[in-house]
């Protein structure tokens, strides 16, 4: 059985998405994996009554066309491999599911509300409800904050895709349950759903964070010290560029952000 790198998008592809797709296709070819890009597949969308586009990356646990693969790696279209990457992401062993943490998010969400609703208090309310409804005890980091798992890169094994079909609760049930909390859309959709279910399975592997090193603007008190959080290290493999407007950056700018220091980014140009 082969492995697959999968990317998915709703609507017209933006320039940054096209560049990510180009690089990920080249990377897949290099490591001997298949590559698949779906635009408006409307697979997971049919299983929820709203916000369907957010769920489409979970198509591997909905659509049987993915079951011919040993592993499927789903990668957002704002994620870019570093130049010259030869390391094969599929060779890193995982259990049923593999995902990276966002180590900065705990303290960040404790200092500011993001997107109108994402903060420490709402995280805690959500986590309590997950335990109450689904008996999912969500893990914490060394500082006591709830761990955050980022869906920008998620690996499914074949066994994991089948396990999810048989054991995960329906998307709509989760959405209905979480809407009752009134915490906002973020807590009712895909990323937190998968976070909860992967943890509840007891068979999730935390992959090396170099497979999803993220860059984003920092607001609130922590932003006074540094307005950009750049989690890249010497071991970075994929860079998740979450800067506002990055989907419309040209290829050179995205290349520089992925591979070079901030002095070369020229974000104001």
What letter would DSSP give residue 260? Answer: S
Least Cα distance to 229 among 246, 241, 247, 211 occurs for 241
CA dihedral 41, 69, 77, 112 (to 10 degrees): 100
pLDDT at 269 (0 to 100): 79
pLDDT at 268 (0 to 100): 85
100 neighbors 211 (Cβ within 8 angstroms): yes
Residues β-bridged to residue 38: 8
pLDDT at 1 (0 to 100): 79
Q: At what angle do helices 171-179 and 120-134 cross, to 10 degrees?
A: 120
The 3-state DSSP class for residue 97 equals strand
Least Cα distance to 74 among 49, 93, 55 occurs for 55
The half-sphere exposure of 148 on its side-chain side, counting CA atoms within 13 A, is 23
Rg of the chain, C-alpha, whole Å: 18
Query: pLDDT 10s per residue in the chain (269 long)?
Result: 799 999 999 999 999 999 999 999 999 999 999 999 999 999 999 999 999 999 999 999 999 999 999 999 999 999 999 999 999 999 999 999 999 999 999 999 999 999 999 999 999 999 999 999 999 999 999 999 999 999 999 999 999 999 999 999 999 999 999 999 999 999 999 999 999 999 999 999 999 999 999 999 999 999 999 999 999 999 999 999 999 999 999 999 999 999 999 999 999 87
Whole-number Å distance between alpha carbons of 218 and 104: 10
C-alpha distances out from residue 218 to 87, 120, 180, 242, Å: 30, 16, 30, 11
**Token digits of residue 182:** 């009134």
What letter would DSSP give residue 49? Answer: S
Whole-number Å distance between alpha carbons of 142 and 252: 38
Whole-number Å distance between alpha carbons of 67 and 26: 23
Output the CA angle 20-23-29, nearest 5 degrees.
135
């Amino acid at each position: 059985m082969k492995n697959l790198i999968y990317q998915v998008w709703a609507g017209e592809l933006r320039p940054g998405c096209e560049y990510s797709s180009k690089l990920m296709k080249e990377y897949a070819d290099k490591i001997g994996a298949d590559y698949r890009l779906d635009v408006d597949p409307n697979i997971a969308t049919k299983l929820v009554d709203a916000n369907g586009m957010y769920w489409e990356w979970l198509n591997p646990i909905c659509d049987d066309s993915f079951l011919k693969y040993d592993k499927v790696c789903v990668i957002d279209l704002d994620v870019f491999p570093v130049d010259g990457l030869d390391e094969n992401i599929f060779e890193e062993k995982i259990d049923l599911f593999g995902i990276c943490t966002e180590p900065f998010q705990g303290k960040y969400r404790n200092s500011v509300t993001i997107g109108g609703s994402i903060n420490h208090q709402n995280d805690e309310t959500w986590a309590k409800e997950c335990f109450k409804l689904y008996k999912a005890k969500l893990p914490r980091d060394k500082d006591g904050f709830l761990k955050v798992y980022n869906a920008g890169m998620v690996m499914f094994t074949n066994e994991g895709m089948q396990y999810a079909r048989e054991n995960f609760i329906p998307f709509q049930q989760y959405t209905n349950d979480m809407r009752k909390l009134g915490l906002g859309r973020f807590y009712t959709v895909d990323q937190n759903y998968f976070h909860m279910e992967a943890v509840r399975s007891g068979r999730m592997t935390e992959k090396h964070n170099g497979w999803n090193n993220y860059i984003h603007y920092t607001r609130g008190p922590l932003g006074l010290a540094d307005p950009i959080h750049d989690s890249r290290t010497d071991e970075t493999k994929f860079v998740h560029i979450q800067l506002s407007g990055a989907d419309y950056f040209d290829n050179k700018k995205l290349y520089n952000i992925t591979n070079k220091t901030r002095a070369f980014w020229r974000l104001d140009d």
